[in-house]
């Protein structure tokens, strides 16, 4: 029996024989063509794009993507394949540099992917997988190769692979593919999103798997604990079969909480909002019992496609999300990228450390046309519902005042053309740097609300790159320094009488919910799949119990001690999760 620990990305238990998939990675050498061969290569290129689009449409239709809440991932892929400027860029390379169609496809798509992969944000960097997915699909048709078909399956299997692309995952027949495990991957990759949407248990980042597995093996994929068991003994197999039955019952009970309030046993209301990246994910938030959108990340409007998004691109995306949630709040975060992270921007300063450079609100304040385009669209969407705007990475009062001044300028522009908008739209900021946390009292005087972004707050406070495997173990929300900063921000927001939420990964972690409530947090914005579990915890405790836990944690000086104490408390409430 071999037990491997990875990252749990989609809950559930799958027990079956394995099927190994060789994840093809075509390496295309540069090959020249004769001028007379240009037309032939362009025709091949057009056929590859047309076939790839047809293939995606067929997969989308077969999996009923409308109901699985992941149609936007396919829309992004198809938008890329249909984008004229992107296709022209490839054909121009064929014509001007006299290279084969497959080399032009590979070179340009990998250049785009490198922008994503180099971003010091695990969620954004994992988007490179989508670009490689498009590359593989095009090269499959240009090279006359076919990806492995799974249609012949007649028994349940768990898929084992080095990595999987989102559309590969969406193409699985759920009647037979009941789980998967990969050597690479991350919690926020699109493959993980697809797996959760389709309800396929999954564990990623397991390291080498193929050497441990044979065709006769039995594999257990534990998508709750992030564990894969290869060739389990009889007792382990019995325990997991029992655990799987218990989890089915547990999930059924959690789903019953959907329409119940997130209210503690002593009657204190807590607002549960969802974090989204694509407009259609707003529907998932509501389906899970969420009360609105607490963080709408807008970066992918910039990262995908062949050009920067227009005002209409922005507006249509925001309008779809707002209409999906009705009168519930939608907090739209302005663009949180840097010059080094915009594939279509012509101006890129040379920065040795872009994470500490021209990014986020700093970039927006230097590229006013880009910033104003987005603000116009947000303001136009503000008349459709309870829309709020949030500025990221504010580090001082001057930045906030500049951003608000530009927002007022945009309002005046809209007034000039009689374009309707909500003149009283709430304006908030993210607290995600030590400087903003320490001056929260000043910032609160000119903000309608705060949202604490714990991911960056931890990174900047502890000087730890969470994507760096050598120091990632030091990345912890249980560090006393982090908890003190959060307490201070909560207190300053309370004194100023403004709204406050937590929108980082800590808000999705069941271990931290009682502590956050004990600190005074009453609004959480979290990953939609985690809403039922967090609601269960809230409905199982009293505020006095949370206050007592918070006071106890404040006396501790070891992150390990704090983490263990929080886990023990959460386990007593949700033993099924731990």
pLDDT of the residue at 272: 98
Using a CB cutoff of 8 Å and minimum separation of 24, what contacts does 478-483 make?
Answer: 478/559, 478/560, 478/562, 478/563, 478/566, 479/559, 480/556, 480/557, 480/559, 480/562, 482/454, 482/457, 482/458, 483/515, 483/519, 483/553, 483/554, 483/562
Residue-wise pLDDT tens digits, 149-196: 455 677 899 988 888 877 777 777 778 899 999 988 776 566 777 787
pTM for the structure as a whole: 0.72
**267-573 CATH:** 3.20.20.60
Cβ-count burial of 34 within 10 angstroms (0-12 exposed, 13-18 middle, 19+ buried)? exposed
Q: Can you tell me the mean pLDDT for 53-65?
A: 74
What whole-number distance in Å separates Cα of residue 440 and Cα of residue 16? 53
What whole-number distance in Å separates Cα of residue 223 and Cα of residue 198? 13
Residue-wise pLDDT tens digits, 118-130: 666 666 666 677 7
Q: How far is CA 316 from CA 282, 320, 453, in A?
A: 14, 6, 26
What whole-number distance in Å separates Cα of residue 299 and Cα of residue 529? 21
CB atoms within 10 A of CB 15: 20
**35-142 CATH:** 1.10.274.10
Side-chain half-sphere of 172: how many Cα atoms within 13 Å?
29
Q: How far apart are the first and last CA of the chain?
A: 22
What whole-number distance in Å separates Cα of residue 36 and Cα of residue 42? 12
Q: What pairing do the DSSP bridges indicate for beta strands 449-452 and 227-230?
A: unpaired
Task: Determine if residue 310 is left, alpha or beta; phi over 0 gives left, psi from -120 to 50 gives alpha, anything else beta.
Answer: beta
Instruction: Confirm if 432 and 391 have CB atoms less than 8 A apart.
Output: no
Sheet with 2-5, edge to edge strand ranges: 2-5, 227-230, 219-222, 13-21, 157-161, 177-182, 202-204, 7-10
What whole-number distance in Å separates Cα of residue 570 and Cα of residue 15? 27
pLDDT of the residue at 126: 64
Q: What pairing do the DSSP bridges indicate for beta strands 227-230 and 2-5?
A: antiparallel
Q: Which residues pair with 500 in a beta bridge?
A: 450
Q: For 310, which DSSP code?
A: P
Instruction: Identify which has the larger pLDDT, 346 or 501.
Output: 501
Is CATH 3.40.30.10 what the domain over 2-20+150-254 is classified as, yes or no? no
Exactly one of 77, 141, 503, 546 is catalytic; name it: 503
What whole-number distance in Å separates Cα of residue 318 and Cα of residue 24? 37
Q: What are φ and ψ of residue 451, in 5° steps?
A: -135, 120
Angle between helices 101-117 and 128-142 (to 10 degrees): 170
Cβ-Cβ contacts under 8 Å for 219 (sequence gap 6 or more): 15, 16, 17, 18, 158, 160, 181, 213, 228, 229, 230, 231
pLDDT of the residue at 25: 57
Cβ-count burial of 371 within 10 angstroms (0-12 exposed, 13-18 middle, 19+ buried)? buried
| Residue 556 DSSP SS3 | coil
What whole-number distance in Å separates Cα of residue 490 and Cα of residue 450? 9
**pLDDT at residue 216 is higher than 90:** no
190 is annotated as an active-site residue:
yes
What whole-number distance in Å separates Cα of residue 311 and Cα of residue 306? 15
CA quadruple 168, 166, 131, 97: dihedral, nearest 10: 20
HEC readout, 419-441? CCCCCCCCEEEEECCHHHHHCHH
Exactly one of 190, 314, 364, 546 is catalytic; name it: 190
E-only strand ranges, 316-355: 329-333
pLDDT of the residue at 575: 83
What whole-number distance in Å separates Cα of residue 264 and Cα of residue 512? 15
| Residue 337 DSSP SS3 | coil
What whole-number distance in Å separates Cα of residue 493 and Cα of residue 475? 26
Instruction: Confirm if 383 and 419 have CB atoms less than 8 A apart.
Output: no
pLDDT of the residue at 165: 75
SS3 content of the chain, % helix, strand, coil (to 5): 50, 15, 35
Q: Please state, for a pLDDT cut of 70, what percent of the chain lies above it.
A: 86
Instruction: Confirm if 489 and 437 have CB atoms less than 8 A apart.
Output: yes
Q: What is the DSSP string of 241-296?
A: HHHHHHHHHHHHHHHTTTTS--B-TTS-B-EEEEEESSTTHHHHHHHTT--SEEEE
Q: Which of 455, 448, 427, 450 is nearest to 439 (CA)?
A: 450
| Residue 478 DSSP SS3 | coil
Instruction: Identify which has the larger pLDDT, 121 or 18.
Output: 18
Instruction: Identify which has the larger pLDDT, 351 or 163.
Output: 163
Cβ-Cβ contacts under 8 Å for 492 (sequence gap 6 or more): 440, 441, 444
Domain ranges across the chain: 2-20+150-254, 35-142, 267-573
Q: What is the mean pLDDT of the chain?
A: 86
What whole-number distance in Å separates Cα of residue 494 and Cα of residue 441? 10
What whole-number distance in Å separates Cα of residue 255 and Cα of residue 533? 9
Residue-wise pLDDT tens digits, 371-412: 999 999 999 999 999 999 999 999 999 999 999 999 999 999
| Helices and strands: H and E segment counts in the chain | 24, 16
364 is annotated as an active-site residue:
no
301 pLDDT band, cuts 50/70/90, is confident
280 pLDDT band, cuts 50/70/90, is confident
Tokens of 570: 């959460």
CB atoms within 10 A of CB 251: 15
What whole-number distance in Å separates Cα of residue 350 and Cα of residue 33? 35
Residue with tokens 């987005």: 374
Q: Can you tell me the mean pLDDT for 289-313?
A: 84
Q: Can you tell me the mean pLDDT for 43-55?
A: 91
């Amino acid at each position: 029996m071999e037990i491997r620990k990875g990252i749990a990305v989609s809950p559930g238990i799958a027990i079956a024989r394995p099927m190994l998939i060789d994840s093809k990675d075509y390496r295309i050498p540069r090959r020249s063509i004769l001028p007379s061969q240009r037309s032939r290569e362009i025709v091949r290129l057009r056929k590859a794009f047309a076939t790839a689009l047809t293939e995606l449409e067929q997969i989308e239709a077969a999996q009923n993507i409308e109901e699985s809440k992941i149609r936007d991932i396919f829309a992004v892929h198809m938008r890329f394949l249909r984008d004229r400027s992107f296709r022209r860029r490839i054909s121009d390379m064929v014509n001007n540099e006299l290279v084969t169609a497959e080399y032009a496809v590979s070179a340009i798509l990998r250049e785009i992917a490198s922008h994503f992969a180099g971003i010091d944000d695990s969620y954004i960097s994992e988007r490179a997988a989508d670009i490689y997915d498009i590359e593989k699909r095009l090269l499959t048709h240009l090279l006359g190769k076919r990806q492995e078909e799974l249609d012949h399956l007649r028994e349940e299997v768990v898929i084992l692979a080095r990595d999987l692309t989102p559309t590969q995952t969406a193409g699985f027949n759920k009647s037979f593919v009941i789980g998967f495990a990969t050597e690479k991957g991350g919690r926020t990759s699109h493959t993980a999103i697809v797996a959760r949407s389709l309800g396929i248990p999954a564990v990623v980042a397991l390291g080498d798997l193929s050497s441990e597995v044979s065709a006769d093996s039995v594999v257990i994929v534990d998508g709750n604990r992030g564990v894969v068991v290869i060739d389990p003994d009889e007792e382990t197999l019995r325990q997991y079969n029992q655990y799987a039955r218990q989890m089915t019952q547990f999930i059924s009970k959690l789903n019953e909480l959907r329409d119940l309030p997130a209210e503690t046993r002593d009657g204190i209301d807590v607002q549960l909002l969802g974090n989204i990246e694509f407009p259609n994910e707003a529907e998932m938030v509501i389906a899970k019992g969420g009360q609105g959108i607490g963080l709408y990340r807008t970066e992918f409007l910039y990262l995908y496609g062949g050009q920067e998004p227009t005002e209409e691109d922005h507006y249509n995306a925001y309008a779809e999300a707002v209409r999906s949630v009705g009168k519930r709040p939608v907090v739209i975060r302005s663009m949180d990228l840097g010059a080094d992270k915009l594939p279509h921007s012509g101006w890129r300063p040379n920065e040795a450390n872009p994470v500490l450079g021209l990014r986020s609100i700093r970039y927006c304040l230097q590229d006013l046309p880009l910033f104003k385009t987005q603000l116009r669209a947000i303001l136009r969407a503000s008349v459709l519902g309870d829309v709020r705007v949030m500025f990221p990475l504010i580090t001082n009062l001057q930045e906030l005042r500049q951003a608000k001044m530009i927002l007022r300028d945009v309002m005046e522009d809209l007034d000039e053309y009689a374009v309707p908008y909500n003149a009283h739209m709430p304006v908030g900021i993210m607290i995600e740097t030590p400087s903003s946390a320490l001056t929260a009292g000043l910032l609160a005087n000119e903000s309608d609300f705060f949202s604490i972004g714990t991911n960056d707050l931890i990174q900047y406070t502890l000087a730890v790159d969470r994507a760096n495997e050598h120091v990632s173990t030091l990345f912890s929300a249980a560090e006393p320094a982090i908890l003190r900063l959060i307490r201070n921000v909560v207190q300053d927001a309370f004194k100023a009488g403004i709204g406050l939420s937590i929108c980082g990964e800590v808000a999705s972690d069941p271990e931290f919910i009682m502590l956050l409530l004990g600190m005074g947090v009453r609004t959480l914005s979290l990953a939609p799949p985690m809403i039922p579990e967090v609601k269960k915890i809230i409905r199982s405790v009293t505020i006095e119990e949370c206050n007592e836990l918070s006071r106890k944690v404040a006396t501790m000086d070891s992150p390990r001690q704090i983490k263990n104490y929080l886990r023990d408390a959460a386990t007593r409430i949700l033993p099924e999760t731990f």
